[in-house]
Amino acid sequence: MSNVIQIVLIGQIVDRLLAQIPQPGWLLPAFAFILLTRAALVWWGRLASHKAAAATKLALRDRLYAHLVKLDPDFMSGSLSQREARTGALVNTAVDGVENREVQSTHSYSP
């Protein structure tokens, strides 16, 4: 909605400049108000998006840790190569997977 108002006000300003009609006193302050309001709303939206992504990341890590604690010691049993493969997959999920989810959730909700 603010885009439409901004475009209308820019059109009014340009139209009056080209027609050499004096600008009403409210036109430029209205444009500045819309511009600043839109900038503040975009900033607030991005801040909220980052906070939500951080909360999601924390919840995912908590759930992952709780699940790992519930696993019995036999989960890591087996040959050395099998343990290393499982450990590598767990570390990859715990670090890279959760970090990638934060990036995805931050950018998917941004306008």
Query: What total number of domains does the chain contain?
Result: 1
Residue 40 is predicted with a pLDDT of: 93
- Domain enclosing residue 39, as ranges: 2-108
95 pLDDT band (50/70/90 cuts)?
confident
What's the rounded mean pLDDT across residues 80-106? 70
Cβ atoms < 10 Å from Cβ of 105: 19
Angstrom distance (rounded) from CA 74 to CA 77: 5
56 pLDDT band (50/70/90 cuts)?
confident
Dump pLDDT digits (tens) for 11-23. Answer: 888 888 888 888 7
Using CB atoms within 10 Å of the CB of residue 38, give its burial: 0 to 12 exposed, 13 to 18 middle, 19+ buried. middle
Whole-prediction pTM value?
Answer: 0.59
